[in-house]
């Protein structure tokens, strides 16, 4: 129960406040002109710019929900099966929701551009639900898709889904979920569902020691060192450090990459990201482990630049790099669809 006498014990850059009674306040307290990006977008059955959206329950026992993005089908597409993009949002495992406008504006675009169904998971948040809760929710969503593929459950909106072509995608710490979920799926029987690829966009890979890019790159509205340290401190299992396998899959505490059964990956990095050095360290470690991993670098932009609708609309360079990112993801899906 929240009381008037509660005491603030942690605050993260205007995004989140944690109190001593365990309550968490996630109301935006930053610049008011940014407010619209963290507001929820209601689902709509009608097609808006070629995409409709709906929230569905994927796990009745836990109440886990998924936001579906459905591209408008053309008459000639009646018998065409559409790939599924299973999406995990970012937010340091502590904030944001699948229905926020910052995700809506980019994942409607991705659904339309790739002619794919996007399923975005409403994952549980830390510190109320520390890791691996968010990864467990991702796996539950994957098992839900498997149950649909096997005909054990029904979801009419996914009657044209191609369960043999499922791509995982994650923004920021959602990229961490992609890596670990793909590794977990590599040891499971998901048939007839098949994970065709994983797309990690600016994953939250870090180490205890500050990297050169953390020390030298400019901080951005979507990522500061304060956010990195405090969000992960609230999210990782109690007693863990940033060298934990979830945040440092290329480190000594993680399973060796060469023993993991992983699908093809596309790693997307931004040249001005605070975490670009450790993201590149992950890329090199994956290559050394002989994994199928491609690299897409967006130059001159920072962490999660494509989610910043203000910058996308007002800065030509950000807009151009966002188009490059979407095109690169579309090409990766096309390359691994057949």
Question: Which amino acids are annotated catalytic?
Answer: 172, 273, 303
C-alpha span between 255 and 260 (Å, rounded): 8
Backbone angles phi, psi at 55, to 5 degrees: -95, 130
Helices (H), the chain: 101-114, 133-149, 173-185, 212-216, 225-235, 276-288, 309-314, 316-335
For residue 19, give every residue at least 6 positions away whose Cβ sits within 8 Å of its Cβ, in sequence order, or none.
2, 6, 7, 8, 9, 25
**Strand duo 16-19 + 293-298: pairing:** unpaired
6 CB neighbour count, 10 Å cutoff: 14
The partner residues of 257 in beta bridges, in order of sequence, read: none
Return the structure tokens found at 202: 């600016």
Q: Is the peptide bond before 7 cis (omega within 30 degrees of 0)?
A: no
C-alpha span between 216 and 125 (Å, rounded): 30
Backbone angles phi, psi at 104, to 5 degrees: -55, -45
DSSP assignment of 98-161: TTBHHHHHHHHHHHHHHT-EEEEE----TTTS-TTHHHHHHHHHHHHHHHHHTTSS--GGGTTE
Residue appearing with tokens 């995990």: 88
């Amino acid at each position: 129960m929240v009381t008037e006498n509660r005491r603030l014990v942690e605050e993260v850059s205007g995004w989140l406040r944690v109190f001593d009674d365990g309550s968490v306040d996630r109301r935006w307290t930053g610049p008011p002109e940014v407010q619209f990006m963290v507001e929820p977008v209601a689902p709509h059955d009608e097609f808006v710019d070629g995409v409709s959206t709906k929230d569905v329950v994927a796990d009745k026992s836990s109440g886990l929900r998924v936001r579906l993005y459905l591209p408008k089908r053309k008459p000639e597409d009646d018998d065409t099966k559409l790939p599924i993009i299973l999406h995990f949002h970012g937010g340091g495992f502590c904030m944001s929701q699948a229905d926020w406008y910052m995700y809506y504006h980019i994942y409607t675009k991705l659904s339309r551009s790739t002619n794919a169904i996007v399923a975005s998971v409403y994952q549980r948040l830390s510190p109320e639900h520390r890791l691996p809760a968010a990864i467990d929710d991702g796996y539950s969503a994957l098992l839900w898709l498997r149950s649909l593929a096997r005909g054990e459950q029904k979801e009419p909106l996914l009657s044209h889904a191609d369960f043999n072509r499922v791509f995982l995608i994650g923004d920021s710490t959602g990229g961490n979920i992609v890596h670990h979920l793909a590794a977990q799926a590599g040891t499971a029987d998901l048939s007839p569902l098949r994970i065709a690829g994983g797309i990690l966009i600016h994953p939250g890979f870090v180490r205890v020691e500050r990297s050169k890019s953390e020390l030298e790159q400019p901080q951005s509205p979507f990522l500061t060192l304060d956010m990195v340290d405090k969000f992960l401190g609230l999210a990782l299992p109690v007693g863990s450090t940033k060298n934990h396998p979830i945040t440092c899959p290329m480190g000594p505490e993680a399973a060796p990459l060469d023993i993991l059964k992983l699908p093809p990956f596309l790693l997307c990095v931004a040249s001005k990201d605070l975490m670009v050095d450790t993201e590149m360290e992950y890329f090199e470690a994956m290559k050394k482990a002989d994994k199928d991993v491609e690299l897409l670098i967006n130059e001159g932009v920072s962490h999660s630049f494509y989610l910043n609708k203000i910058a996308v609309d007002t800065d030509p360079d950000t807009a151009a790099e966002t188009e490059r990112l979407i095109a690169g993801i579309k090409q990766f899906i096309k390359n691994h669809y057949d």
